[in-house]
Amino acid sequence: MIHEIPLERRTLHGHFSIDLDPILRIEPGDSVRFETIDAGWGMEGGGLGGRDRPRWPDRHAAYDSGHPMIGPIEVAGAQAGQTLAVTIDELRVGTYGFTDAGGWPSWLNERLGFVGGETATLWWELDADAGTARNQHGWEVDLRPFLGVIGMPPPAGGMWHSTTPPRRWGGNIDCAELVVGSTLFLPIPVDGAMLSLGDGHARQGDGEVSGLAIECPMASAQVTVDVREDLELGDPIARTADAWLTFGFDEDLDDALAKALSSMLDLLEREHGMDRREAYALASVAVDMRVTQVVNTTKGVHAVLRDDAVRLA
């Protein structure tokens, strides 16, 4: 079954919390269709005039200080400790996007010599049919859209958890590999799952070094949500068209890498019955370690095992 979620104030929120009421209850295997606004809470606008776009009305200064997300969506029968599978069925970008540099992250600006608080913005006109983005300088890139935020609230009580850092239950993962056709697997932290989605990106490089991708609304998006009782995870993993991905998040990049690699060793043991130390050796040959992002307080690393990287007996 496909559920249509309208874009309205009732369906939007800008923080994670177990205290938020669900906007929709679905069955495992159902799909949801929705649209999103950009990360700056812009209602509309477009192209090179995007800087003048209006803002969403009645935005709460604290609870809506993060990414605007659709949800929460309750999944019937989902229990804490199980695994949520979110498959990206469709993503169609809106007409505009923007990328800032110089404001965030401050630690990286300092190392690059960008001080004084000055910023630069690239304004993008997006052509979903042509699959391209062109900015005010005439620079053009191909689109590779994905949702930056797919996740569930921390199990801890309290009215407000920031959308900025990624967590083991998902959230602001910002992985450019999670395009249409990919499935993200997340440990479920609370009964009902309470899934939220948003933060449309038209394109992003690994690292998201300036703090922003091409931030954009999604004119339409569809995901299919299922529950896996046979897959127990400590951290997120993903399946793309041609690879397995495992993720690690930590304020320390070394620790984030170690977590992503450990999850990949778990996957090699689970999927291929490998000895863990031998899997470690194979990973050095066949697994790519990539910096997902370094700008969301908690850094992210994803390990990538391409299907053609090794031929298994």
Instruction: Give the tens place of pLDDT for each residue, 200-252.
Output: 999 999 999 999 999 999 999 999 999 999 999 999 999 999 999 999 999 99
> Looking at per-residue confidence, does 49 or 133 come out higher?
133
What is the average per-residue pLDDT within 105-131? 87
What is the average per-residue pLDDT within 96-115? 84
Chain segment 6-29, per-residue pLDDT in tens: 999 899 999 999 999 999 999 999
> What per-residue confidence (pLDDT) applies to 30?
98
Q: What are the structure tokens assigned to 94, written together?
A: 């809106």
> What per-residue confidence (pLDDT) applies to 43?
52
Type of residue at 136: Q
What is the average per-residue pLDDT within 145-157? 94
> What per-residue confidence (pLDDT) applies to 47?
42
CATH number of 242-306: 3.10.28.20
What is the average per-residue pLDDT within 130-145? 97
> What per-residue confidence (pLDDT) applies to 144?
98
pTM: 0.94
What is the average per-residue pLDDT within 112-119? 80
> What per-residue confidence (pLDDT) applies to 102?
74
C-beta neighbour count of 137 within 10 angstroms:
8
Chain segment 23-66, per-residue pLDDT in tens: 999 999 999 999 999 998 885 444 444 444 455 666 666 677 78
Q: pLDDT-based confidence at 103, cuts 50/70/90? A: confident
Cβ contacts of 35 within 8 Å, gap of 6 or more: 7, 217, 218, 219, 220, 221
CATH of 2-228 given 2.60.120.580, 3.90.550.10, 1.10.10.10, 2.130.10.30:
2.60.120.580
Percent of the chain at pLDDT exceeding 90 = 80
Instruction: Look at residue 157 and tell me whether its pLDDT is greater than 90.
Output: no
**Residue ranges per structural domain of the chain:** 2-228, 242-306
